Amino acid sequence: MPSSATPEPSHASLDVAVIGGGPAGLMAAEVLAAQGASVAVYDAMPSVGRKFLMAGKGGMNLTHAEPEAAFLGRYGARTAQIAPMLADFGPQALRDWVHGLGIETFVGSSGRVFPTDMKAAPMLRAWLHRLRDSGVQFHMRHRWLGWDDGAPQALRFATPHGDTVVRARAVVLALGGASWARLGSDGAWVPRLAGRGVEIAPLRPANCGFDVAWSEAFAARFAGTPVKPVAIALSDCAGHAHYRQGEFIISASGIEGSLVYALSAPIRDRIEADGGAVIHLDLLPSHSAEQVRAQVEHPRGSRSLSSHLQSRLGITGVKAGLLRECLEKDAMQDPGTLAVSLKALPLRLLRPRPIDEVISSAGGVRFEAMDQRLMLRALPGVFCAGEMLDWEAPTGGYLLTACFASGRTAALGAAAYLKNQA
C-alpha cells in the first residue's frame, strides 16, 4: 500500500485536509493544489476512488450532452443550489478536463458521455499521477473519527497504527452518502456533524429498486428478465403526472433497472407519504389505447386468450406473466378491463431496497447549513462536497458531474478562506 506510507505532513505545513477520496474529494485536492495550498487526502479505504471504479464497471458514464436547461432540471428541488456550481464546471468543462488527462470521450446514442475505452481505471490512474506530481499527499486507511478537543481544524483519525490527530488550516469533507458502505460510503459522518449543530436531512435510498409481493411462481420464473419496451406512469405527492418509457428488470424481490431508477425519487416519496405506491405499467407504449382495445376485442375464435394476445399484440413471456400476476382471472376475461390494463397495469410497490445496496442516496448536509462556497456555518473553515450534500439526481452522468463541480466549489471556497485567514 504505497500511498499509506506517505509521511504524515507536519501540522504547520498542512493547509487543507481533504477527507474522502472519491471524485469530489479528489477534485477539491486538485483545485487547492493548483492554488498553491499544501493538501493531504485521507480515506478509510486501502485506495481511493473505489465507488468511482465500481460505477465504471458497466461503462464509465461521465456526464450527459443534453441541453443545459434539461440537464439542470435533473436536480429537481435543488436545481437552484446546483446551478451555480455547474455554471463554473458543467458537462463541457468536465469533458475538457478529462481530455486534459489524455482520455478521449464520445457521446452515445442516448446522449450519455463516456471515455472512449468505456473504463474508469485509466482515467483514475492518470488523475492520481497528476495529483501526486502536484504535491498532493495520500493517507489511506485513515478513518475520520471527528474532532480533537472540539477544534474544527484538529482532526482525529483511526489508523492501523493507532489513533492520530492531524491539524489543518481548512478542511474539505467529501465523505459520500450511505450507499455501498463496503466501498467507503457508510454515512458514519452524520452524527458527528449533527452533534456540532449542522442541519442534516435524513439519508434515503435514491436510484433504487423496489420490493413487490411477487408470487413464488412468478419470481422463480421471471427473476432477471427484462421488461421492454414498457412505460411507467405515476402521480407524485404534489399531483404531478410522470410517464417515462424504457425498460426495467424483474428481480426476485421486485423491480429494478434504468427506468425504475429514473422515477425512484417520486416513487420513494409516495411510499414514505402513503405507506406504498401504485405505478401503472404501459405494456404497449407504441400502441394507442384505441388500437389496443380494437385488437383485444377482435374475434379470437377457438384460440386461447394467451394465443390471441400474442398474435394480435405480441404479448408473451414476462408481459403475459405480469398480466396474470396483477389481474384477477375475471378481469383477464373481460375485454374492456383487459384492454385498459394493457395500457395501465397497476403494480403496487412496497418499499425501496435497503440504502446500502442502491446506486446513490438522497439527503445529507442541507444547503441552508452552508454558505454559497459550501462552508459550514456552524464550523468555519470546514467545507462539504459531493454526495454528502442534500441533493439527488438520476443516473446518466448527472451524479458524477455534480460531485466534480461541488468538489471544485468547496475547494475554491477553502482557498478563499485561507487567503482571508493569512
Domain boundaries, the chain: 2-205+361-421, 210-352
Three-state DSSP class for residue 88:
helix
pLDDT at position 358? 94
What contacts 277, CB < 8 A, 6 or more positions away?
Answer: 210, 234, 267, 270, 271, 348, 349
398-421 and 91-100 helices, crossing angle to 10°: 80
Report how far apart the first and last C-alpha atoms of the chain are (Å, whole number).
36
DSSP string, 290-352: HHHHHHHTS--TTS-HHHHHHHHH---HHHHHHHHHHS-HHHHH-HHHHHHHHHSEEEEE-EE
Q: How far apart are CA 96 and CA 99, in angstroms?
A: 5
Burial of 415 (0-12, 13-18, 19+ CB in 10 A): buried
* CATH superfamily of the domain spanning 2-205+361-421: FAD/NAD(P)-binding domain (3.50.50.60)
Rounded Cα distance between 313 and 232, Å, is 19
Question: What whole-number distance in Å separates Cα of residue 221 and Cα of residue 225?
Answer: 9
Instruction: State how far the Cα of 120 lies from the Cα of 365, in Å rounded to an integer.
Output: 28
Would you state the pLDDT for residue 43? Answer: 97
Strand-pair partners of 206: 360
State the pTM of this model. 0.92
Stretches where the chain sits below pLDDT 70 are 1-13
Strands 170-173, 162-167: pairing kind: unpaired
* Residue matched to cell numbers 468543462: 93
User: What pLDDT, in 10s, does the model give residues 156-201?
Assistant: 999 999 999 999 999 999 999 999 888 888 999 999 999 999 999 9
**What is the Cα gyration radius of the chain?**
25
Phi, psi angles (nearest 5°) of residue 16: -135, 130
Identify the residue whose cell numbers are 436510484: 207
